Amino acid sequence: MKRQKRDRSSTLFNRGFRAGLDGKSRDTCPVSTTDLRSHWMSGWREGREAHWDGMDGVSAIQLNPALH
């Protein structure tokens, strides 16, 4: 059975969200392409906001259900 590939932009958003939630710097972005980098950075921004609001674990998953 073939597995369907996920959309690259949503994957990058989720990875950026996790990085922001963990308090990592935005300089750790693994993407150099401008359009894909914007997806990672928007996820990172939302993750940082959740981190600053004290959300962690289950409360962060409520913000972004794609994390589980």
Residue 18 lies in a domain: yes
Q: Could you tell me which of 54, 2, 43, 53 has the C-alpha nearest to residue 20? A: 43
| DSSP state letter for 23 | T
Residue 46 lies in a domain: yes
pLDDT confidence tier of residue 54, bands split at 50, 70 and 90? confident
Residue 41 lies in a domain: yes
Q: What are phi and psi of 10, to 5 degrees?
A: -70, -35
Residue 1 lies in a domain: no
**Burial classification of residue 32, based on how many CB atoms lie within 10 Å of its CB (0-12 exposed, 13-18 middle, 19 or more buried):** exposed
Residue 44 near residue 29, CB atoms below 8 Å: yes
Residue 54 lies in a domain: yes
Domain, as residue range, for 37: 8-24+32-67
| 68 has pLDDT over 90 | no
Residue 2 lies in a domain: no
State pTM to two decimals: 0.77
Q: How many domains does the chain have?
A: 1
